[in-house]
Amino acid sequence: MTASEGDRDEVESDRYGLLSVPSRDELQSLSDLAASIFGAPGAAVTVFTATSEHRIAATGTEPSVCARGESLFTVVEMDDAFVVPDARQDPRLADHPMVTARPGVRFYATAPMRSPDGSLVGQLCVFDHRPRRTTDAQREALGFLAERATDILELRLRSRQLSSSLQELTEARDELARSNVALSHFAAQVSHDLRNPLMAVRANAEVLASEPAVREDPELAAAVDRIADAARGMSGMIHDVLSLAQEGGRPRPQDVDLAEVVDRVLLDLSPLVRQVGAHVEVEDLPVVPADPALLYSVLLNLLDNSLKFTRRGVTPHVRLHAAQRAGRWRICVTDNGAGVPAGQEHAVFLPFVRARTGDGEARPEGHGIGLATVHRIVTAHGGRVGLEPSPGAGTCAWFELPTNRPEAEPDRTT
């Protein structure tokens, strides 16, 4: 291989960060060992840049820098270890300034240093001012030491990259901590701002409940009671959201009766159920380990979608059922509605992504946040969530939760 061909193998200048700092002791040890193996007075570890050769570790001489092409290596550059017993007898080297000088180099042995991708990094060379004969074992040792020198350089590169990555991770961790603090402050502010109007709703509901006209009308009294119950439930949710934000968004699992959560959800959705004339069927549901406030949000979003995404002229039918499989509970919300277009079953779980009809028009109003919230909550519990076509028409929205409460769940909701 010629010197011009070798130039194409060069790595970036100072890839290993060796030119601005002193050589490492291990590289100096390799240089000393190479000289000792050959019984020669001089050896060196050299790295290349596009224009220079840097002697970063040397035995019997001082570290130095020369222009690329001025050393003997560029003349005899080979793929493997190469030995010149007497440079004066080699027509390629005889006229080289390093050979004709007094005292000039006579014996020269070199082995290329190549990175794992084959790029030329440098050389490990041994030299003497008098001719020498070598053995096969010495030549093999030189190639071995050159490979170890490359290993040291690669280890140094990986260490620098690891340090850089660690620094980035540290900065990301610190930024996440700051974000969590900001989230806690935001949740506290929102909770405070929501509590005042909510207290007004509760107070007015209590006043209405005490009115004779309301007490004497069972249907009206029931409606006022639902308003008061919904306000109390909302107050509890606000408290839970604040607590969740203060804990960094981690679920707080406990044994939750799904049937009770569904009752609360259906109570809050009762106006929508009546509005669309839906028939909601709830089968036996299990007790699962979950955060009750977050599980309420999951079921609220799934049932709300089933009641909104209906088909014109078709009475909405929604069915909730559960099945146990391989250490998990799968809870399904199956409807006979409009369904999700093929190919969009996964995309709709992304924030602000909404299913589209065939003509590109958006379905019922919304912002594409509900299913993204469901996905975050379920995965934070160590579960999975998905959408499938239901038999005939409509959609089966399902989520799975472990049957056993996890000892510690990572924060995946932020």
60-79 tens-digit pLDDT: 988 888 877 777 877 666 67
Chosen domain end from 129, 164, 199: 164
Residue stretches of the chain with pLDDT short of 50: 1-13, 358-362, 408-414
What pLDDT does residue 33 have? 94
**CATH code (residue 20):** 3.30.450.40
Residue 306 lies in a domain: yes
Q: Is the pTM of this model over 0.85?
A: no
Pair of tokens at residue 72: 């003997």
Q: 150 and 33, same structural domain?
A: yes
Q: 412 and 274, same structural domain?
A: yes
Phi, psi dihedrals of residue 84, rounded to the nearest 5°: -115, 105
Q: 18 and 150, same structural domain?
A: yes
Distance CA 371, CA 376 (A): 9
What pLDDT does residue 71 have? 76
Q: 159 and 255, same structural domain?
A: no
Residue 205 lies in a domain: no
Pair of tokens at residue 168: 């980035």
Q: 155 and 12, same structural domain?
A: yes
User: Beta strand 279-282 with 317-325: parallel, antiparallel or unpaired?
Assistant: parallel
Residue 242 lies in a domain: no
Q: 28 and 157, same structural domain?
A: yes
What pLDDT does residue 257 have? 94
Residue 182 lies in a domain: no
What pLDDT does residue 223 have? 84
User: Beta strand 395-402 with 328-335: parallel, antiparallel or unpaired?
Assistant: antiparallel
Distance CA 364, CA 370 (A): 13
Phi, psi dihedrals of residue 54, rounded to the nearest 5°: -110, 115
Residue 74 lies in a domain: yes
Residue 149 lies in a domain: yes
Tokens 């040397």 label which residue?
Answer: 58
pLDDT tens-digit series, residues 244-294 = 555 555 678 899 999 999 998 898 888 788 888 999 999 999 999 998 888
Chosen domain end from 147, 164, 181: 164
CB atoms within 10 A of CB 252: 14
Q: 262 and 147, same structural domain?
A: no
Chosen domain end from 116, 148, 164: 164
Tokens 């919230």 label which residue?
Answer: 373
Distance CA 228, CA 267 (A): 12
Residue 35 lies in a domain: yes
Q: 152 and 275, same structural domain?
A: no
The letter for the amino acid at 66 is C
Per the structure, the count of domains in the chain is 2
- Please state, in angstroms and as integers, the Cα–Cα distance from residue 342 to each residue in 197, 235, 348, 350, 395, following that order: 42, 39, 11, 16, 11
Pair of tokens at residue 404: 């056993």
Q: 286 and 156, same structural domain?
A: no
Residue 202 burial class via C-beta count within 10 angstroms: exposed 0-12, middle 13-18, buried 19 and up: middle
CB 68 within 8 A of CB 53: yes
Which residues span the domain enclosing 345?
251-414
Q: 155 and 49, same structural domain?
A: yes
Residue 316 lies in a domain: yes
What pLDDT does residue 128 have? 93
* Alpha carbon of residue 104 to chain centroid: 58
CB 286 within 8 A of CB 329: yes
Q: 148 and 284, same structural domain?
A: no
Q: 297 and 160, same structural domain?
A: no
**CATH code (residue 284):** 3.30.565.10
